[in-house]
Amino acid sequence: MVEELIVRTRAEAGRNAVDVLPGGHLFIETDSPIDTSLTPWVPLLTPIAMRRGARLRLDGPVATGALPASRAAQKILAGWHTNLTEVDVEATWVDPAPSGTGVGLFFSGGVDSFYSALDHSGEVTHLIFVTGFDIGLRKDWLDERARAAVGEIAEELGVELLTARTNLRRLSNRWCSWGKQYHGAALAGIAHLFSPVIGTAIIPSSHAHPWGSDPELDPLWSSTVRILHDRPASRLAKTARVADSDLAMRHLRVCYCTHPGEYNCGRCEKCLRTMIALYGVGALERSDTFPHALSPRAIAGLELKAGGIDFARENLAQLRSMPVRDRRIEWALALALALAPLRGGLRTWTRSLRRSLQAIRRWAHRVRRGLGRRLRPGQSAAPG
């Protein structure tokens, strides 16, 4: 029997909320006018249903174009990922309400989104900032500072700000890879939530293909809102463009590893690669959100994974092309690249060892529990 993922609306003030059975209670909060139908939940839940191999049944109205969009996106996702299978999506079709005329841009404050905001200046009417995707719901200190920064950015760019807060990743992380499979669908769902305000949503371009947000995949989620994947450009080209903006140099945020009181930690792979790129174009000392000095020791200690290796190679080529070269930074980055395969193998071995130890502990627990059941009758029969 095919499992069903059932989605039912739940009336809550200020929220688009649903119960997903099995799964739990999901919500998206915003102060802006929103689409209260189940249309936004089609892209939000399709990849999860595909991962579970479950029929997706939405007990409520869905705009007519949403289900064909889901089928088209499913074909691409299933072709890219063997653990995703195409599933049926059922709902009550309705004619969609007229969409807004605005052009929204998803904006986190990082290099990709700043580049798109600068590149589409005069076209974008709204920035869209989401809490619960890259900023966890428990990181109140970072959310508060990032929201304030994005508010200042929107005001200086002369656009309006749309904000949302959601617990969606509580469910999606159990089933899907956020980066490889899911985040494009998540952004498309939020875009459709804001359909009373915007008719087009731009997703800043990604660095890899295929990816969860991808130029081939993102437009397929379009129904009440047209979804666009922005024009691709190399990370170094984007950084050079962003470095020319005083606004970006005041507010640039790329870090997911912050501790309370931090905006960018300045230590993680994402911070260091951005700092190296800014250093390469002579802009690191103008940044208000990063340390102004690079540590060769920190760079040499980077544990580079697949995407990070590509960025590190770009950074190294950039450093070697500088008129005045810092050999210590070059050598440190070259060492991190040379050690990447060894460190990757060590991570794989460590994960394998950890899984083996966990299996042994589970086996030992079952043995102890079984022996305990066998010994209890004899113990209870012994004279007191």
Same domain flag for 74 and 219: yes
What are the strands, taking DSSP E only, across the chain? Answer: 4-10, 15-21, 24-29, 55-63, 89-94, 102-106, 126-131, 160-166, 198-203, 226-229
381 assigned to some structural domain: no
Span 245-254, pLDDT tens digits? 999 999 999 9
270 assigned to some structural domain: yes
46 assigned to some structural domain: yes
Same domain flag for 325 and 295: yes
Q: Which of 100, 64, 124, 126 is nearest to 196 (CA)?
A: 100
CA dist 22 and 139 (Å) reads: 27
Same domain flag for 223 and 313: no
User: In sequence order, which residues have a C-beta less than 8 Å from that of residue 274 and are 6 or more positions away?
Assistant: 111, 239, 252, 254, 264, 290
Q: What is the pLDDT of residue 297?
A: 96
Same domain flag for 46 and 171: yes
CA dist 288 and 230 (Å) reads: 27
Same domain flag for 251 and 216: no
Going from the C-alpha of 10 to that of each of 13, 26, 31, 138, the distances in angstroms are: 10, 9, 18, 24
375 assigned to some structural domain: no
User: In sequence order, which residues have a C-beta less than 8 Å from that of residue 170 and are 6 or more positions away?
Assistant: 24, 26
Q: Walk along the chain (384 residues) and give the pLDDT tens digit of each residue.
A: 678 999 999 878 778 999 999 889 999 999 999 999 999 999 999 999 999 999 999 999 999 999 999 999 999 999 999 999 999 999 988 888 889 999 999 999 999 999 999 999 999 999 999 999 999 999 999 999 999 999 999 999 999 999 999 999 999 999 999 999 999 999 999 999 999 999 999 999 987 788 999 999 999 999 999 999 999 999 899 999 999 999 999 999 999 888 898 999 999 999 999 999 999 999 999 999 999 999 999 999 999 987 789 999 999 999 999 999 999 999 999 999 999 998 888 878 888 888 888 889 889 888 888 887 776 665 544 444
Burial class (CB in 10 A: 0-12, 13-18, 19+), 66: buried
Q: What is the pLDDT of residue 206?
A: 84
Same domain flag for 225 and 249: no
Same domain flag for 70 and 103: yes
Q: What is the pLDDT of residue 25?
A: 94
User: Is there a contact between 356 and 373 (Cβ–Cβ < 8 Å)?
Assistant: no
Residue 303 burial (CB count, 10 A):
14
Where in the sequence is the domain holding 57, given as residue range(s)?
A: 4-229
Instruction: Give the chain's length.
Output: 384
Same domain flag for 318 and 215: no
Rg of the chain, C-alpha, whole Å: 24
Same domain flag for 216 and 239: no
Full-model pTM:
0.89
Residue 21 burial (CB count, 10 A):
13
367 assigned to some structural domain: no
338 assigned to some structural domain: yes
Domain count, the chain: 2
126 assigned to some structural domain: yes
364 assigned to some structural domain: no
Same domain flag for 331 and 246: yes
Same domain flag for 323 and 246: yes
Distance of CA 332 to the CA centre of its chain: 29
Span 23-54, pLDDT tens digits? 899 999 999 999 999 999 999 999 999 999 99
Same domain flag for 218 and 240: no
Q: Which of 28, 35, 158, 161 is nearest to 106 (CA)?
A: 161
